[in-house]
A and B are shown apart, each in its own frame.
Chain A
């Protein structure tokens, strides 16, 4: 069984604190947990919520409705009544009445703990009581969070949580809550996973212009910069960021930038530069709904075709599209390795859903394990940066040795110097493009989930993995579909895609956009014909139940 808790209120009311506290406490009991956030583009006010879904079985998606809604203000209370499941309960930060359980969190916190700041402890204690959970894991959280602040703060919070639980226990409302699971007792978000993987893989230079929903990765890197020896610098604009990354990559350190669609649009010329100069530039692209500024804090998958074809001219690139925080961790490392093996720009695509999604993780490795940059040991004086080779990969040297390393964004000869020799142009362009063959040979095949004999196949990429997988589970009885998820969309392992699609009578591409961009890309490559599209582009993530409902209605 699963249960969804929604903590809702205005920006600035401490939703993240309360939500984060509940997540950390609940996961300690071995529950499977999946949390998402819905927020508006503002610093104060509005209506935001933090969802925490718990279960005794694996979770990969959020839910549309909630079984327990904690509302921090009247607006949330009045607006979210429709969000309650049948038999669901609402806990309100205020007075009782109209089917709502009322506890004045701040008032209780002041009375019991001496400070309104402990209101979230009161709320968390009440939630634990309504779910019938023992407070031990919650109290443990106060120990680990506030030990440095002293016993008084710890005991104050514990007292507040106990009072919240006691007040909630006075009410009739109880919910059947899951128990008895043994899931990993740690969670991590998509953004944390990318940041940690990049730091552990040896990113030494990170620069970006802040843009939701990518900023979390940049902030994470800044928070570990001293530990992993990373130079983190905020750029004056995205154009500066990508060009700084190109410069740092040329000088020899793995370098990255983080951005969203609008910022990526500004970086496009620099992306082509990385392609032309053959630099391992790494771009984290956290998508949000466009066009233009769009919905800044919402989710979407609208930039696949943009990322695949961004940049003037033609050059190789690789694009990874992880579906879970764990996969985001694994593919960030793989993206950096690919960039350095093929001396090409690589993009890792995420979105607000994956960025903020938190789920159980089996302990992501934070050990510093720098990737191989594939450098020449001892370049000679007659070194040629763009030596023509069979696989298109030219031996790489760094400036500062006895070899001169010459790069030009103009077409160039093998020595890197500018040329207008058109035969050289073709020779070097062919060399560059040959790298794509190796990248395609190394490409990740799509991953299959669900019944092997399914006649109906769902296609998904990136963060739609989880909801589509849950839909497959929901429809498993009665000949439901299987899922084919693409963790890499460029280049494609076309043989693997062909084999996976072979003999399927029905294909539905499930995508967070209005046009079916993955389906379009596969069609362009001759891999599929007409197919059904199941699309969502209102800025909210898919849920498993939604996909299942739409497939069967």
Chain B
């Protein structure tokens, strides 16, 4: 377990940022899931969330804005014995990288995506994100956001994503549970959407706003039931369900390639 950032780096997050809680919980979850950090690769794009890999201990591929997913998939396919986890934001994963999300849910490579969703662009100072609520006012959207928010979880359910969950940065216990469940999910693509307050740029979806609304999904929910899962994914407003929304068993991409049955690509290169 890591009490403080391993590297002597100035953390670039604002005081009170939800990222601190996510980082702390992430470190606990990695240890709880029994992941060897030397076999762990953290992949991110660009944004404040995307800096998380620098503040912990792991192999790091901090690539381009929106392109964490294809890089992560390339890493996982070259060496599927590595645990490959994406930690990036809503702009990165749902905006700039939207096409990769659509197609990698289909592809079902065993990569875990933790999306810090604060419904706003932080690093570029407060513009709307794909998940901003209708009417959200910013300097670029002075009359409020006109397009309804992107719903990543509903899309994931519709596409039969292998693992779909939502949690809240303000509930570290729940968040750790969801992270561990995603990390230990046996095979396929896992999407964990993490609601994260941005005290600097999102004065609407505040810590209190989320806390008043998030409600753990009832134990009676069968996550393999697609219809109920879709209903939960579409629920947003006075109540926002958090927990494992959907799981779907289908063959992983990497399990279907004969070439990978002989071992990882990288180990095959070594052997030859």
Contact = CB atoms under 8 A, between A and B. Distances in A.
A400 B38 contact: yes
A247 B62 contact: no
B113 interface: no
A550 B67 CA distance: 49
B58 interface: yes
A150 to B, nearest CB: 30
Nearest to A398: B266
Given A270-B67, A370-B269, A400-B38, A230 B99 contact: no
Interface residues of B, number: 47
Contact of B257 (A231, A236, A398): A231
A205 B60 contact: no
Interface string B62-96: 11100101111111111101100000000000000
A417 B10 CA distance: 11
B78 A253 contact: yes
Nearest to B8: A417
Given A231-B260, A243-B63, A408 B54 contact: yes
Interface string B172-197: 00000000000000000000000000
Contacts of A373: 269
Given A231-B257, A368-B272, A404-B60, A247 B266 contact: no
B259 A231 contact: yes
A231 B64 contact: no
A244 interface: yes
A233 B71 contact: no
A406 B260 CA distance: 25
B265 interface: yes
B9 A205 contact: no
A473 interface: no
Contacts of B74: 205, 207, 243-251, 255
B142 to A, nearest CB: 30
B232 interface: no
B99 A247 contact: no
A461 to B, nearest CB: 31
Interface of B: 7, 9, 37-39, 41, 43, 46, 51, 53-54, 57-64, 67, 69-79, 81-82, 99-100, 102-103, 257-260, 262, 265-266, 268-269, 272
Interface of A: 202, 204-205, 207, 225-226, 229-231, 233, 235-237, 239-241, 243-255, 269-270, 273, 277, 368, 370, 373, 398-402, 404-410, 415-418
11 contacts: A229-B268, A236-B100, A247-B43, A247-B72, A248-B74, A252-B266, A273-B67, A398-B266, A399-B41, A406-B59, A407-B62
